[in-house]
Amino acid sequence: MGAELSTAKELLGRLVAFDTTSHKTNIPLIAFVEDYLNRHGIDSVRVPTADGQKASLFATIGPSGTGGVALSGHTDVVPVASQNWSTDPFTMVERDGRLYGRGTCDMKGYLACVLALVPAFKARRLSLPIHIAFSYDEEVGCTGVRPMIAELGKTLVLPRMVVVGEPTTMTVVDAHKGPVRWSVDVTGKAAHSSMPHLGVNAITYAARLLGELARMEEELKRLPPNPRFDPPYTSLQVTQVEGGTASNIVPVPCWFGWEIRRLPGYDGMDLDQRLRRFAAEHCLPEMQRIAPETGIRIDITNEVPAFEAGPNSAAVPLALKLAEQNATFAVCYATEASLFQRGGAPSVVIGPGDIAQAHKPDEFLHVSELEKCLAFLARIADWCETG
Ligand SMILES: [Zn+2]
What is the whole-number distance in angstroms between the Cα of residue 289 and the centre of ligand 1?
47
Q: Could you tell me where the DSSP H helices lie in 128-255?
A: 145-151, 202-221
Going by the DSSP 8-state scheme, the letter that residue 6 receives in this structure is H
For residue 249, give the nearest of 187, 291, 192, 203 by alpha carbon. 192
Q: Is the pLDDT of residue 1 over 90?
A: no
Residue 111 phi, psi (nearest 5): -60, -40
Mean pLDDT of 77-100: 97
Beta-carbon contacts of residue 232 (< 8 Å; ≥ 6 apart) = 225, 226
2: confidence class by pLDDT, cuts 50, 70, 90:
confident
pLDDT tens figures, 373-383 = 999 999 999 99
Beta-carbon contacts of residue 16 (< 8 Å; ≥ 6 apart) = 89, 90, 91, 92, 101, 102, 103, 104, 108
**Which residues carry out catalysis?**
76, 138
What is the whole-number distance in angstroms between the Cα of residue 246 and the centre of ligand 1?
39
What is the whole-number distance in angstroms between the Cα of residue 185 and the centre of ligand 1?
29
pLDDT tens figures, 204-253 = 999 999 999 999 999 999 999 999 999 999 999 999 999 999 999 999 99
The Cα diameter of the chain in Å comes to: 80
Beta-carbon contacts of residue 218 (< 8 Å; ≥ 6 apart) = none
What is the whole-number distance in angstroms between the Cα of residue 276 and the centre of ligand 1?
32
Residue 280 CB burial class (10 angstroms; 0-12, 13-18, ≥19): exposed
How far is 3 from 9, CA to CA, in rounded Å? 10
Beta-carbon contacts of residue 211 (< 8 Å; ≥ 6 apart) = none
- Which helix (H) or strand (E) segment holds residue 242: the answer is strand 235-243
The whole-number pLDDT of residue 304 equals 97
Mean pLDDT of 16-35: 98
Q: Is 301 helix (H, G, I), strand (E, B) or coil?
A: strand
0.85 surpassed by pTM: yes
pLDDT tens figures, 129-167 = 999 999 999 999 999 999 999 999 999 999 999 999 999
Residue 355's CB is within 10 A of a number of other CB atoms, namely 18
Check: CB of residue 340 under 8 Å from CB of residue 176.
no
Percent of the residues in the chain that have a pLDDT greater than 90, as a whole number: 98
Check: CB of residue 286 under 8 Å from CB of residue 294.
no
What is the whole-number distance in angstroms between the Cα of residue 299 and the centre of ligand 1?
25
The whole-number pLDDT of residue 75 equals 98
For residue 38, give the nearest of 65, 17, 19, 57 by alpha carbon. 57
Q: What is the DSSP string of 29-82?
A: HHHHHHHHHHHTT--EEEEE-TTSS-EEEEEEES-SSS--EEEEEE--B---TT
Q: Is the pLDDT of residue 369 over 70?
A: yes
What is the whole-number distance in angstroms between the Cα of residue 107 and the centre of ligand 1?
5
Check: CB of residue 43 under 8 Å from CB of residue 324.
no
Sign of the alpha-carbon dihedral angle for 120, 125, 127, 129: positive
What is the whole-number distance in angstroms between the Cα of residue 139 and the centre of ligand 1?
7
Mean pLDDT of 115-120: 98
Mean pLDDT of the chain: 97
The whole-number pLDDT of residue 150 equals 97
346: confidence class by pLDDT, cuts 50, 70, 90:
very high
Going by the DSSP 8-state scheme, the letter that residue 96 receives in this structure is T
What is the whole-number distance in angstroms between the Cα of residue 106 and the centre of ligand 1?
5
Residues 50-75 as b or e (16 or more Cβ within 10 Å = b): eeeebbbbbbbbbeeeebbbbbbbbb
Mean pLDDT of 290-311: 97
Whether omega for the bond prior to residue 107 falls within 30 degrees of 0, making it cis, is: yes
How far is 157 from 66, CA to CA, in rounded Å? 7
Q: How far apart are the first and last CA of the chain?
A: 23
78: confidence class by pLDDT, cuts 50, 70, 90:
very high
Q: What is the DSSP string of 156-182?
A: BPPPSEEEE--SSTT-EEEEE-EEEEE
Compute the CA torsion angle 220, 221, 222, 226 (nearest 10 deg). Answer: 100
The whole-number pLDDT of residue 387 equals 66
